[in-house]
Structure 1
Amino acid sequence: MSVRLDRIVTRGGDQGMTSLGDGARIRKDAPLIEAMGCVDELNAVVGLVRLHCPGRDELARIQNLLFDLGAILCIPERGDDRKLVARGVIWLDAEIIALRESQQPLTSFVLPGGSVGASWAHMARVVARRIERRVVALDQPRLASGVMFLNRLSDYFFVLARHMNQDGKTDILWQRGVG
């Protein structure tokens, strides 16, 4: 697939409408556009995670998979997310297992924070959860695999955050009743 972006300023959205991949026009506040915008937001957050976690090539792969998910959302009649499971969920399962190998079992909930990179990974985790909620709300059976991918992606960012906190050694643990 070739992409060519000759014009960035199109003025096509000046009246609160945008185009889907199939050419259909839709309001910018439609639930589908909200889900797509959240995918874009997560991709930007993953870019920030990459800044603080050099050498983790899987983050670039995740960004590409997020673009794939955005493309699936963008073409409602033809978008099929089944390949996202084969390329995303199974692969993320293996990545999670590899990261967890050096982490001690948790004895408390983890508060977002620790290192800067871990904080951004936690931010990626919560944005992934928000997208998951938005995609579930679309109530489209064709997106079931996308929901599974997003669920697994948030798990991945949780274990990545722990990895970035010295495999959990510098995690900030929840202390009940403190505060």
Structure 2
Amino acid sequence: MGKRLTQIATRTGDDGTTGLGNNTRVSKNSPRPHAMGDIDELNSHIGLLLCEPMEDALRQLLTDIQQQLFNLGGEISIPGYELLKDEALAQLDDALKTHNARLPRLQEFILPNGTRAAAQAHVCRTVARRAERSVVALQQAEEMRAAPRQYLNRLSDLMFVLARVFNLGQADAEVYWQSDKLARDQAGD
């Protein structure tokens, strides 16, 4: 992708269209720009997560993921182009294996809270799920390879795991959903 922006306010999108990497224009409300926007939003939320204190290895992992999300966004912006490599998915699989091994077994669903870093990781998880749904919608409209969808699916899983890692060692940071309390409250007990 050798083309770089030299001017930001081009006004070419004033008509409700956006330019793709192959120099075609599409409606900003079509599936491809939706997927591109959700991936961009996810990358920005990861940037916000990187403002939090964390282990150097986690910081490097998240920075690598940001690089891969740029590759993914580039791939989505150019129909038929492949930028996301198999190694990117393998990195997520390795990180899931490594960080899952650090965590106690879940006994129940957990609420998306805890430390600020954990809460932000949960935001990243939900935005990754939305980006995945946008890519699925795009794949239903156009032929695409599976890697973009698979990457976002794994990334949302990893963000859940990292939220738990950020809460690890913090007293009362991981709050379990109390489904039985809800049933008791509804029954009037």
User: Is the structural similarity TM-score above 0.5?
Assistant: yes
1:159 aligned to which of 161, 170, 177: 161
Is residue 147 of structure 2 the alignment partner of residue 145 of structure 1? yes
Is residue 72 of structure 2 the alignment partner of residue 69 of structure 1? yes
Contact 1:80 1:142 (C-alpha < 8 Å) held by counterparts = no
Aligned to 1:132: 132
**Could you say what the CA RMSD is over the residues aligned between the two structures, in angstroms?**
1.7
> Matches of 1:122 and 1:143 in 2, distance apart?
27
> Matches of 1:3 and 1:64 in 2, distance apart?
17
Q: Which runs of 4+ in 1 moved over 3 A?
A: 1-4
- Structural mapping, 1:95-114, within 5 Å: 95-114=95-114
> Matches of 1:38 and 1:59 in 2, distance apart?
17
Structure 1 unaligned segments of length 5 or more: list them: none
CA offset at residue 80 of structure 1? Answer: 2.4
Aligned to 1:47: 47
CA offset at residue 151 of structure 1? Answer: 0.6
Aligned identity (percent) is 40
SS of 1:37 mapped into structure 2 = helix
Looking at CA atoms only, which structure, 1 or 2, has the larger radius of gyration?
A: 2
> Matches of 2:82 and 2:118 in 1, distance apart?
33
CA offset at residue 3 of structure 1? Answer: 4.9
Q: Which amino acid aligns with 1:117?
A: A
CA offset at residue 52 of structure 1? Answer: 1.3
SS of 1:26 mapped into structure 2 = strand
Please give the TM-score of this superposition, normalised by the length of structure 1.
0.91
Count matched residues: 176
Aligned to 1:171: 174
> Matches of 1:38 and 1:164 in 2, distance apart?
24
Show CA shifts across 1:30-49 (max 9, x none): 11111100000000000011
CA offset at residue 175 of structure 1? Answer: 0.6
CA offset at residue 89 of structure 1? Answer: 1.4
Aligned to 2:117: 117
Q: Which amino acid aligns with 1:72?
A: E
> Matches of 1:118 and 1:28 in 2, distance apart?
33
Show CA shifts across 1:2-60 (max 9, x none): 45322111010111111000000111111111110000000000001111143221111
Aligned to 1:60: 63
> Matches of 1:49 and 1:126 in 2, distance apart?
14
SS of 2:146 mapped into structure 1 = helix
Show CA shifts across 1:133-170 (max 9, x none): 11111124423111111110001000000000016862
Structure 2 unaligned segments of length 5 or more: list them: none
